[in-house]
Structure 1
C-alpha cells in the first residue's frame, strides 16, 4: 500500500538478519526464533516470533496484508476506501475500517484536529498522494480546506460512510500501517505466541521478551540528522507496548522554480505543509495504530503543543528531537520514555 507515505525513523537492532530468508527458524535450546521478512503495504517488514517449535505463518501474514489493502489502500482502485473517495455511498466497510475510523475520530478530537485522515485532498494537491498534484497558493489551499475535517464524516451502524461533501477524501496513511502491526500481533496472540517483535515500515509492537537472549527487546531510534548513514540517537527496551515515529527530514519536495522546500507533513488546520523546528517525533502507546497517529499529529503541531499533548495523556510516552532558537539539536522525553532508555 504505497499510500503509507511517511518515512519511519526507527532502526531495529534486534532485527539485523544475516540473510533475507522468508519464514526461517533458528533454534537455541528449547526456543526457536521464527522470522518472516518481505515487502507489503509499500514498505518492508520484519517479524520475529519465538516459540518452542519451528512455525511458518507466512501465508497468514500475507492474508492480513491483503485484507488491509483491500480495505484501506488509496492506491488500489477497487479498495473500499477508493470507492468511498469516488463517492460510492453503498460501500459496507469491514470491521478493520470501522476500527480505524473510530480510533481516528477519537484522536482527531484529542489532538484538536491535528490528526485528520480527511486531509487526503491536500496530500494529493501538494503532490504526496496518488491524486493529481496542483499548483498551490493561499486561495487554492483555502478552497480545499472546505473538504477537510473529520467532523464532516460519519460511520453508520450498518458500516456505511457518509460525508457532508462528496469531495472529502479519506487517507489513513498515518494510522493504517500501525494498525497492520496490531492485526499481526492479534493473530500471534490468538496462536498463543507470547514473545515477539513485529515491525512494518518502522512501526513496532513488542510482546514478552527475547527469550533466546534472556533479555528485553532492544530497539534503536535513528538520528534524524544522518542523511546517508544510519546512526542511532537513542536505544530503548520494549516490552508489551508499541512504538511509531515520524520525521520530515527525508520526505520532502523542492520546487524546481523557486527552490522552496515542501515537507510531507501537512497541517490540517491551515492546509499548508509544516516546516517546524521538530525534526522527529516518537510515540509509545499500548497499540501501534495509536502511536502511529499521534506521531503524525506531533509533527503537525508546534513544540509547546506537542509537549502538552504527551503530558496530558498518561497512556502515551514520547520523544521529540528538535532545533532550539539557536539551531542546536535538543531532545525532549517524557518521564516514562526516559525509563525505557538503555544507558
Structure 2
C-alpha cells in the first residue's frame, strides 16, 4: 500500500551493471519485485551477486503471512477475527511492541487499532458505499484503543472482540529494515532499499558518491504531485514520508485524508501536506510520520525540538494558502 512519495532521483535505476576493470571491484546489482500492494527496489554494490530475488521475495512473503490484511490466512486477519487474541510470531510481536511505544510517545495519535475507522472512511480492503455518520463514528471509537491490547509471551490478547489491528502504517518501514538486515548478513555495506517510497541507505556508490533522494512537492492549486521539491543526501539511515496528496478521496468538495485521528474518529485536517522523516531505522521513521501529520505543524515541531535521533522535513500551507516548508535540526542531508 503506497503511503508516501519519495523518489529515488539520482540513482538511475536500471538493470545494467557498472563496468570495472578489476573483478575485485564492486559491481552494481539491482533487485525489484512486488510486495504489500506496492513495488520494492534494492540497489547494492558488491564483488558478486550475494543476494537474490528469491531470497528477498521469500522474506517479504513470510512477513505478509504474518501482518498483511490482504492475505486472508495471515495472523493479523486471524487476530482481527478472534474474540480474545491469538499466538503470534516474532514479526507480529515486534511490530505491536514498537507500536505500543509510539502510541505512548504520541499520546495516542499513532494507534494501529484504528482499523475500524480506516475501513469506515473508505481506506481499508473493503470499500463502504457511504461515509460514516457521527453516530457510527462514536460507536466505532469504542472499538479503538491500544489500552485494550496487550502482549503476554507469544500471545497477543484483547479485551474487546471488535478490536482490530492495521499495521500498514509501520509494516513497510519494518520490511525495509528486514531487507537491509538481509544485505548486511551477506556483508554488503553499500546499498539502497526502497519499498513503497520508504527507504534505508547505507554507504555510498563506488568512488564515494552519495545516494541522492528526491522528495516530491505538490501543485499549489491541488494535491497533485509536481516535480521534486528537494534532493537530499542523508547518508546512513532511513527516510519515510507521510502525506495527503497521493492517498485521499473527495467528498462534499473536500479532500479526505487517509490519515485518521484515532482520538476523534475523523480524517486529519490541518496545514501539513507532507512530513518526511529521518531516523536510523525505517521502523522508527515510518512509525512516527503519520503521528507528525496528525499533530499538525506546531505540535510536531515542538515534539521534535529536543530530539537528536529523529528529524523531519515538513511541507505545509501557511495562513494565506501558500506552500511553505521547514526542517528540524536532526533531519539529515538537507541543504538550503
Q: Which category of TM-score, normalised to the shorter sequence, fits these structures?
A: over 0.9
User: Displacement, 1:14?
Assistant: 3.5
Counterparts in 2 of 1:165 and 1:89: CA distance versus 1, 3 Å: closer
Asked whether the 8 Å contact 2:216–2:225 carries over to 1, the reply is no
- Distance in 1, matches of 2:283 and 2:258, equals 19
Report whether the alignment pairs 1:61 with 2:56. Answer: yes
- Distance in 1, matches of 2:226 and 2:20, equals 30
User: Displacement, 1:94?
Assistant: 1.1
Aligned residue for 1:238? Answer: 234
Counterparts in 2 of 1:229 and 1:278: CA distance versus 1, 3 Å: closer
Aligned residue for 1:183? Answer: 178
- Distance in 1, matches of 2:55 and 2:258, equals 33
Residue number among 75, 93, 112 corresponding to 1:80 in the alignment = 75
Residue pairs, 1:136-147, within 5 angstroms: 136-147=132-143
User: Displacement, 1:25?
Assistant: 4.2
Asked whether the 8 Å contact 1:25–1:54 carries over to 2, the reply is no
Aligned residue for 1:32? Answer: 27
SS in structure 2 at match of 1:176: helix
User: Displacement, 1:170?
Assistant: 0.1
Counterparts in 2 of 1:174 and 1:229: CA distance versus 1, 3 Å: closer
SS in structure 2 at match of 1:274: coil
Coordinate RMSD, CA, aligned? 1.8
Asked whether the 8 Å contact 1:89–1:160 carries over to 2, the reply is no
- Distance in 2, matches of 1:288 and 1:125, equals 28
Residue number among 273, 276, 292 corresponding to 1:279 in the alignment = 273
Aligned residue for 2:147? Answer: 151
Consecutive unaligned residues of structure 2, counting only runs of 5 or more, are none
- Distance in 2, matches of 1:307 and 1:119, equals 24
Report whether the alignment pairs 1:105 with 2:100. Answer: yes
Deviations 1:163-212 (A, max 9, x none): 120101100010000000000011111111111111001100001112x2
Counterparts in 2 of 1:216 and 1:248: CA distance versus 1, 3 Å: same
SS in structure 1 at match of 2:86: coil
Residue pairs, 1:153-172, within 5 angstroms: 153-157=149-153, 159-172=154-167
User: Displacement, 1:66?
Assistant: 0.2
Deviations 1:88-145 (A, max 9, x none): 6563211111111111011111111111100111000111001452541221111111
SS in structure 1 at match of 2:113: coil
SS in structure 2 at match of 1:320: strand
SS in structure 2 at match of 1:297: helix
Aligned residue for 1:291? Answer: 285
Residue pairs, 1:246-257, within 5 angstroms: 246-255=242-251
- Distance in 1, matches of 2:93 and 2:306, equals 26
Consecutive unaligned residues of structure 1, counting only runs of 5 or more, are none
